[in-house]
Amino acid sequence: MKMYELDQRIAEQLTEVSLNSSIQVRCGNSNAFMVTASTMIPLMQMFEMGGVYICATRGAVEIIEAFEAIGVDVSNIQFVDLVSSGILGGTEVPYNNITFVDSPIMLESVLLRTLYILRISNNERNFVLIDSVNALAIYNEERMLAEYLHTFINTFRQREVLSVILNIPDQVPPTVLSNLDLYCTDLIDRGQVVIH
């Protein structure tokens, strides 16, 4: 089993957010999974939340396996995979908590699919996590992405679903980044990675 040292300060910070918060999580290339896990694990285990994980960076299977590798069960999390439909055979997966959207450009479909999952969810408290703004920015025009994040955050804020938006700041278009600063209520900043 691969060992990860989780960032406990993220868990502490999460105790201060409410369900209708929207958290911008900034990370770097090298610490992305550690930061994601440090955010997800307290939400699942400390706060007993269910959630929807929107995978735009990597396929859902890879993410589930990464969590399994550190001994974390994510079977209570639903994954919306925007990557694997672009790969022939990518949607034949051994997990039943993954649904697929054809492409990261189908932003409205992603929102509706997430809303659908939340409608059928039995969890009282939920989060939605976008992994990541950078990956969405590959396919989507800046203005549209900024508009989408605005809609997305407000949609879930209204429904008292915690939104977590993962991004690597130096790879996000400046207008999108400044808009995120405006929309999000909280910031977890692990964007600067010190390499010893």
Partner 1 sequence: MQPATVYTRDRCITGIHGMDEILRGGIPYGSTVLAAGTCGSGKTTLGMEFLVRGALAGEACAHFTATEPSVKLLENIRQYAFFDMNMIDSGLINVFDMDVLYSWLGLDKASFDLDDVHALIKAIVDIVNTIGVTRLVIDSVTTLCYKIKSEQLIRDFLFTLGKKLATLGCTTILISEITSATENAHWSSFGVEEAIADGIIVMGDVERMGHLLRFLQVVKMRGTSHSRAKHAIELTPLGVMLTPMLKWGAVSDKTNRWGA
Q: How far is the CB of 194 from partner 1 (least distance, A)?
A: 38
Q: Kindly tell me which of 31 and 85 has the beta carbon lying closer to partner 1.
A: 85
Cβ 99 to partner 1 shortest distance, Å: 10
Least CB distance from residue 112 to partner 1, whole Å? 4
Closer Cβ to partner 1, 64 or 145, answer by number = 145
- Given the rule CB under 8 A, which residues bind partner 1? 102-103, 105-109, 111-113, 115-116, 119-120, 139, 141, 143-144, 147-148, 151, 155
Q: Residue 180: enclosing H or E segment and its boundaries?
A: helix 174-183
Listed in sequence order, the residues at least 6 apart from 54 whose beta carbon sits closer than 8 Å to its beta carbon are 79, 80, 82, 110, 114, 128, 129, 130, 131
* Nearest-angstrom CA–CA distance, 69 and 92: 21
Name residues whose C-beta falls within 8 Å of residue 148's C-beta, 6 or more positions apart in sequence.
107, 111, 136, 140
Question: Measured from the CB of residue 109, what is the shortest distance to partner 1 in angstroms?
Answer: 6
Our CB check for partner 1 shows the closer of 33 and 148 to be 148
